[in-house]
Structure 1
Amino acid sequence: MKLQPFAFSLLTALLYCNTYAQKPTDELVKINNHSYNVEEFERVYTKNLDLLKDEEQKRIDNYMDLFVLYKLKVDKAYELGLDKDKNYISEFNQHRSQLAEKYFVDEKAIDKLVEEAYERSKKEINASHILFLVNDYALPTDTLKAYNKAMEVRKEILNGKDFSEAALEYSEDPSAKANRGELGYFTVFRMVYPFESGAYKTEKGAVSLPVRSQFGYHLIKVNDIREVRSARDVSHIFISKEAHTEEEAQQIADKVYALLKSGTAFEDLAAEYSDDLTNKNEGGKINKYFPNKLAIDSFDDMVYGLTEVNTFSVPFKSQFGWHIVQLDKIYPIPGFEESKSNLINRVKGDARGQIMKKDLQNHLKERFHYKENKTALATAQKYITKDIYTKAFNKPELKKPATIATFADVKITDAQYLDYVNINYDRLLYITPEDALARILYDNFISKELESYYDSRLETDFPEFRNTAQEYREGLLLFDLMEKEVWGKVKKDTLGYTGYYQNHADEYLQKEIVEGTIFTFDKKKAATKYLSYLEKIKKTKDIASVKTPKVEYSAYKGEMELTDSRLPHDFTPKEGSVSLYEKGGKYLVIDIEKHRPQQMIPLEEIRSKVIQDYQELYEQQWLDALKSKADIRINAKVLSELKAKYSQK
């Protein structure tokens, strides 16, 4: 019968489906009453496939042996109670916490913030500001009052009032009286994040809308925007006004400058004239200088005014005395990949991290269907009174705890909240008034409870996390198991590894070695003359009396095994001998100084290798015993289907 093409394709598909009929949940092997399914085996097999260099180990049959041995060892570790050891628990929890970190951050949000920080790091902003103080935890009415005041002042500035005059008149920043709100140049991470964002989003010459930070509202005027100035290595000569009169300091600075122009080395002049005791003996070196690293008037301008390496500035005066700087090196601006790791840490560590933490809390509330009993919560918060600021919080004895919030299958009671307050309130007493403190304490408490619940469900909700955590768990267990059952025992088993060394003497032999010189000649006559010369030298004490023959040869001196290709096949080793041989049309005169026969290498010299070899034997015997006692039942049908899936016979 001839099958039509469509029918043939259908039949092929059906056969294909039957061939790979196993399901991920099918039992593949049962070891001591513990069942392992196809999914678990395949996950480990495919993950490690590229790591296996031995093609035979890639075969399903062979990998099944490895899988069974692995599970036997894990079972043994649990049987010995190694998972109950305090050190093991501590180490695993540490690993798990590190693994869980990525599940508590929004990777896309971090990437976006890191990219933003990098772009901002390329620019420096020169800005001024006017601050309208308002507590970060102030009531809405007070917050609105400060905001409206900021808007009124901004209107005045837009109508022509000088910004610095407005700062002097209105700013509640204590430094405004001295600097009229001027902040100088800054770049990313130098200001609190909301202020930084406000500055970078404001055009040059413009005044921002009120920007809220933890200090209050800011009006920001951007005076200038420039490319960031990279790090430099500079050298510095400092003439202190404390050590000299004004006139003397200037005269010394001028003298040093003249000497520099005449060619005197900067480091020599620094050693002789500089009053900076921290670096004068190092040539006045200041490595990796960044803008604003030193609070010295005009220092940055002079450093960054130099454009060529090994050029120096004119003498300049600061509040401390006179200075001359030399440019030693200009560092390139780091690229994104080079900066990324540092930027990630800084993003997580500043206010950006707090924003992401708040986003996580909101996400978890939504995910776990958080609901709040506002009446019960308000009742609980009445226990937080003004007395708390005298560190006099008296936790009440509640007759019947009330539920103040729920999420998922969790009920949060007022007793739990007040317990948290009792432990943590004294760290937050800077927050006023007491109702704001109560609110912050509750937010922190709920955030902790939500995160704790979320953390407890990571293995359930994220299979990838569960599998990786299990690998960590079992990996640590196996290390402890091998240390206890194999490695530790072998190290202490002196008789065992000594016996192994003696029983495997042929594996620890020192090969037969000769040490001497091979003289190679083209002609036998020349070789014979030189042989005679060497024999005479060995017999006489008056070496100077023996005349050296004028013959041409090449020589090799060193240690050689008897199998060395430089030696003739009929070579006979004898210490102190000198002999003539013919090899490949050449004539060899071989002078043997030392002959070391084949012998065992002393145990002291190779103890670590012997222990390692003995350990391999001991481990294999231990594994064989473990396997012989185990009840191992492999589902042949499922295994066959698995082999077919990976095209293995």
Structure 2
Amino acid sequence: MRLSTLITLLLFAFNFQSHAQSKNDLQEKTLFRLGDQPYDLGTFEYYFLKNSERPSADSAKIKIEAYLDLYVNFRLKVQEAVSRGMDKDKDFIDELEGYKKQLAEPYLTTTQFNQKLLSEAYERMKFEVSAAHILLKVEENALPEDTLRIYNEVLKIKEEITKGADFTEQAKKYSQDPSVKMNGGYLGYFSALQMVYPFENAAYQNAVGTVAGPIKTRFGYHLLKVIDKRPARGQVKVAHIMIKTTTDTVTNDKAKKKIDSIYENLREGKDWAEQCKLYSEDQSSAKAGGELRWFGTGALVPPFEDAAFALKNPGDISVPVQTRFGWHIIKLIDKKPLEPFDEIKVDLEKRVTRDSRSQDSQSEVLATLKKEQGFKLDKKVQSNALQGIDSTLKVANWNYDTTSSVLSNVLFSLETSVYTVADFYKYVKSAQRVRKTADLEEYKKQLYDRFESESIFDAEMAFIEQNNQDYKRILDEYRSGILLFNLMEDEVWEKALIDTVGLQAYFDQNAGKYISEEMLKVRKLTSASQEVIKQASQQLGLSNSQLDSVFNDQEALALQIDDLEIKKGEEPFLDGHWETGTYLQESDGYYTLWIVEQVIPAAKLPLDKVKGLVISDYQNELETRWLAELRAKYPYKLNKPVFKSFVKTF
């Protein structure tokens, strides 16, 4: 290598290292102070980049200044909470401890093992399994003889099926799953992460036609019949027009006629959005053209899903499909296959962590941590300690002699600490719950295992909290968030609810803000036939249900009738007819008779009509005043050189 090239590379490495070092130094510097309390740049940067997109060089100063104002307000409130001692409150400490265990999980998980679970889940998501099951329930802490009895009962049912008994009939006869009355044990199609892990394993690991089991889950023992396996269908986005059905036969007949008529309209070329707006009874989607969110297998009822996935090209519509909710016509908007692993990895990690399979991950992590922390167990002390717990544990009434000499015996040790029998007994006393049907020895073992694992995880968490900057910042986020919520509830939210005098005074001072919009109360009659509208206009004394009977018994969509309250801008036609009267509108092949029954004038609304909105506004007012007081109490001083240096990093 030439000497000049070597020197260039060394200089580059030196500059790179110096830059990295200088950035780290910058992050540790104080960005601002509130009173005597400093706040470092690194933590501000964490919050800033988490809550906003990375700015360009041109916009950095403006965006950072805007967020800094919000961040200072946030820190003012948290600092006030600490000054009031809210971080010492027992409820706060207990809540934060609960979050600590969850937040530490990614830092405790064995990467290799977690990757194995992720890969397994993703590979399984490429397929869907159709299965049926028979469930006999067993309590998790059941006595061994009860567990064995249920296990043997499941084996007998399996033997009957092996000899030729019909699985569905056996499910109806024996299964304790409440849904068996409706589905005969059939679960439909499902994919990974939709069932408990042992059940999912049996479904994916056995061939079509197999009756697997007994399978133990937290619900009991199952027999599982694998009915089919197919490639995953991915996700689909559709719109729908729905006509609701009831248990009334006459109403259902009308619904069927109506959905069939809408279907014929669509086949004849009528506009989908127009038909949806006119007739769909799914009010949440009708104004948006019936559009629904993306969904995959297992998200909606099977008849709807199957019809949606059967559509091939965007714009295709289904024949009317019946579900337990009513009749639907479905229009395909788009389809997409299972996304690449890298694109869904973050979401998949969250789902795997929440899933029952994460228990296996925790066992693997625990074994690793035991090695890393130099775990040593005295089995003789453990045995004696367990023997010292009697059957009063099962009724949650166990206690121990606090003067006993055995309490000081070391149960197990780690490199940094030791755990005695006293520590274990204190844990058992606080953790015991009524378990009358449980096996005593098994219950004692469960409590010991929990004590051991929680002690090891707590020791590791203490190390992580002290040494891992990412974890410290995430923990600060949760800690500050809980304190902020508690303080805001006391100082703003609850105060606005309780302070009726202050609320009334605020409303009186701002009554001009709370005015109802002028509206029209209208009756709307719509038809594709001018003659029907003419006849209906001569029978306006009839009720809506009477008009429906007169005009829609023979032809389901002859006349659509609605009672509405309409604001200006919602119906452009009525904006030009803003007074009582009857007006005929013709548009896109439809005739609409608008009967404007009343012009409801704008008016100041009484407090009881807008109380929710007034409370929200009053809370904002209280918060603004309070923040001004906090800024006076904790003067704000920005470190301008650090701020400028940070802006330049963009």
2:357 is matched with: 352
Q: List alignment gaps of at least 5 residues for structure 2.
A: 1-7, 31-35, 40-74, 88-95, 477-637, 646-650
Letter paired with 1:446: E
Whether contact under 8 Å (1:376, 1:404) holds in the other structure is no
State the match for 2:557 in structure 1.
none
Contact 1:237 1:270 (8 Å CA) reproduced: yes
Alignment correspondent of 1:376:
384
Local SS of the residue matching 2:228: strand
Q: 1:175 deviation in Å?
A: 3.0
- Work out the percentage of aligned pairs sharing the same amino acid: 30
Alpha-carbon distance in 1 for matches of 2:269, 2:356: 51
1:347-388 per-residue CA deviation (whole Å, 9 max, x = no partner) reads 111111111212333444455232332442223322743331
- C-alpha RMSD of the superposition: 4.5
> 1:116 maps to which residue?
120
One-letter amino acid matched to 1:378 = L
**Which residue of structure 2 aligns with residue 11 of structure 1?**
none
Aligned residue for 2:252?
246
Q: CA deviation at 1:143?
A: 3.1
What corresponds to 2:602 in structure 1?
none
Change (3 A) 1:128 1:407: same
Contact 1:306 1:313 survives alignment (8 Å): yes
AA of the residue aligned to 1:407? S
Q: Indicate yes or no: 2:423 matched with 1:421.
A: no
Equivalent of 1:58 in 15, 22, 42: 15
Scaled by the length of structure 1, the TM-score of the pair is 0.55
1:374–1:404 CA contact under 8 A, matched in 2: no
| 1:300 paired to 2:308 | no
- 1:393/1:422 contact within 8 Å kept: yes
Q: Would the alpha carbon gap of residues 177 and 56 (structure 1) be closer, same or farther in structure 2, given more than 3 Å must change?
A: closer
One-letter amino acid matched to 1:380? G
Match among 306, 328, 335 for residue 333 of structure 2 = 328
Kindly name which structure, 1 or 2, has the bigger radius of gyration based on alpha carbons: 1
Q: Distance in 2 between matches of 1:71 and 1:289?
A: 43
**Aligned-partner SS, 1:287:** coil
CA distance in 2, matches of 1:239, 1:393: 61
Change (3 A) 1:288 1:190: same
Distance in 1 between residues matched to 2:270 and 2:294, nearest whole Å: 24
Amino acid at match of 2:432: Y
Cα distance between partner residues in 2 of 1:351 and 1:615: 46
Q: Partner of 1:237: helix, strand, or coil?
A: strand
Q: CA deviation at 1:237?
A: 1.1
What's 1:153 paired with? 157
Structure 1: segments with no counterpart, 5+ residues: 1-48, 75-79, 460-464, 477-609, 618-649
Aligned pair count?
Answer: 413
Q: Aligned partners of 1:241, 1:471: CA distance in 2, in Å?
A: 53
8 Å contact from structure 1 (residues 309, 329) kept in 2: yes
Deviations 1:558-586 (A, max 9, x none): xxxxxxxxxxxxxxxxxxxxxxxxxxxxx
Cα 1:215/1:613, change in 2 over 3 Å: closer
From 286, 295, 312, the counterpart of 1:289:
295
2:395 corresponds to which residue? 387
Work out whether 1:310 is the aligned partner of 2:315.
yes
DSSP 3-state at the match of 1:340: helix
1:395–1:275 Cα change, 3 Å: farther
1:264-283 to 2 correspondences below 5 Å? 264-283=270-289
Kindly indicate whether the alpha-carbon contact (under 8 Å) linking 1:380 and 1:418 is maintained by their aligned counterparts in 2.
Answer: no
Kept in 2, the 8 Å contact 1:138–1:436? The answer is no
Deviations 1:162-188 (A, max 9, x none): 212222333333333443221111111
Alignment partner, residue 18 of structure 1? none
Q: CA separation in 1, counterparts of 2:27 and 2:240?
A: 66
TM-superposed CA distance for 1:220, in Å, is 1.0
Cα deviation for residue 398 of structure 1 reads 3.6
Shift of 1:301: 2.2
Residues 402/174 of structure 1: CA separation in 2 closer, same or farther (3 Å cut): farther
Instruction: Please show how residues 414-453 of structure 1 align to structure 2 within 5 Å.
Output: 414-426=421-433, 432-433=438-439, 435-453=441-459
Task: Note if contact 1:398-1:415 (Cα within 8 Å) is conserved in structure 2.
Answer: no
| Equivalence map 1:123-142=2 (5 Å) | 123-142=127-146
TM-score by length of 2: 0.55
**Contact 2:395 2:436 (C-alpha < 8 Å) held by counterparts:** no
- Post-superposition Cα deviations, 1:10-66, rounded to whole Å, max 9, x if no partner, equal xxxxxxxxxxxxxxxxxxxxxxxxxxxxxxxxxxxxxxx99x9x8596399x89997
CA positional deviation for 1:229: 1.9
